[in-house]
Amino acid sequence: QKEGYRFFMEKEIYEQADVLADTLRGRVLDTGIEFDELDENLFDGISEIKLCACGTSYHAALTSSYLFERLAKIKSSVEIASEFRYKEPLLTKDTLFLAISQSGETADTLEALKMAKQAGLKTLSICNVDNSSIVRLSDASILTRAGIEKGVASTKAFATQVAVLWMLSLYVAQFKKSLDTKELQNELHTLREVPNVTVIKDAIHEKTKRLAKRYLHGHGFFFIGRDVFYPLALEGALKLKEISYLHAEGYPAGEMKHGPIALADPELFTIALLSENLLFEKTKSNMEELGARDSTICCVSSYMYDKADDFIVLPKCNHYMLEFYEMMTATQLLAMEIAIKLENDVDMPRNLAKSVTVE
């Protein structure tokens, strides 16, 4: 049932626009965000959201922590579930515990959720599988509507998790009245654009195929970005390492000088996620620093940076979250094309399982 695609991962990358449209349906209304599954007073008495997840779902959580603070003006912290379980966290009842999991069965996330419940916290989950253990255990849950994800490397589940989390941050913003009508309308309008910008453009896919021919020889990769593009850099690096088995690290662009730039040489490929809408100058100068130390730079941006060695040129748009989705598909395709050129089994990478139900 690959329907002409070479791998399920490819099919799932191409499905993202449709599943995003499904995930938004009935939730993004003209006047605001609605979640039928949520009780109106879920956020009563809540002053902090603690997000907890593993792997790609953790990257979705990290992305949303920028949105919760920026849009909803609510404190948010993000925990890797396997760390949270053993750090003896201090939990207070004004915290909402939010578990994020595609499968709803990840052992560490499930156990973390149990701990939060035992501490008397209100719990919410965002999952892709209805009636999964995490859904059943949480007080409330919101389903992503990504459909069954077969590729071990998560793509469409991540896309929908970020969309639900963004909607949730607007839902909290409504509750807390932290955005004025115009700001809220702008966010709603932008959300509706997400499926469109996530449709795969032939030119971009072709470009990633061309780049893959050279990049498969890379000795190491940095993915760099700031703000929401930092978790996206982590996710881009994770995708690449999972299926290509090449060494890749995601970094906040501003961290380079604090150590990693020592690795820069022409065999180090830097995938720079350069937003034109958010922290453009700052990120550009971090990219230039790496270029000046001879790292090979691939600039993923709607901005044509003439000093980069390579480009993936994205369509212009006027909101950083639309750039986020454009860059997300570009980095997914790049990882997949490199792995295909290396003749790896993209859907079943070595040493990995789709669902991690043991610790």
| Residues 6 or more apart in contact with residue 213 via CB below 8 angstroms | 341
Distances (CA, A) of 212 to 107, 207, 236, 344, 348: 35, 9, 14, 13, 20
- Of 15, 187, 242, 326, which one interacts with ligand F6R (CB under 6 A)? 242
Query: In the structure encoding, which two tokens stand for residue 257, read together?
Result: 């000088």
Q: Is 75 helix (H, G, I), strand (E, B) or coil?
A: strand
Q: Which stretch binds ligand F6R (CB under 6 A): 89-97, 99-107, 164-172, 175-183?
A: 99-107
Contact status: 109 vs ligand F6R (CB under 6 A): yes
Minimum CB separation of residue 169 from ligand F6R in Å reads 19
Query: In the structure encoding, which two tokens stand for residue 219, read together?
Result: 């000795």
- Of 23, 56, 64, 286, which one interacts with ligand F6R (CB under 6 A)? 56
Query: According to DSSP H, which parts of 155-180 are helical?
Result: 156-176
Alpha-carbon distance of 194 to 81, in angstroms, equals 29
Which single residue is written with the structure tokens 């690449």? 240
Minimum CB separation of residue 358 from ligand F6R in Å reads 12
Q: Using an 8 Å Cβ cutoff, are 24 and 195 in contact?
A: yes
Region 292-351 residues binding ligand F6R, contact defined as CB under 6 A: none
Contact status: 231 vs ligand F6R (CB under 6 A): no
DSSP assigned state of 72: S
Contact status: 82 vs ligand F6R (CB under 6 A): no
Contact status: 123 vs ligand F6R (CB under 6 A): no
Contact status: 57 vs ligand F6R (CB under 6 A): yes
Contact status: 154 vs ligand F6R (CB under 6 A): yes
Alpha-carbon distance of 275 to 315, in angstroms, equals 12
Minimum CB separation of residue 249 from ligand F6R in Å reads 15
Minimum CB separation of residue 245 from ligand F6R in Å reads 14
Task: Cite the active site residues.
Answer: 354
Contact status: 72 vs ligand F6R (CB under 6 A): no
Nearer to ligand F6R (CB atom), residue 109 or residue 138: 109
Alpha-carbon distance of 18 to 108, in angstroms, equals 30
List residues near ligand F6R by CB under 6 A.
54-57, 101-103, 106, 109, 153-154, 238, 242, 355-356
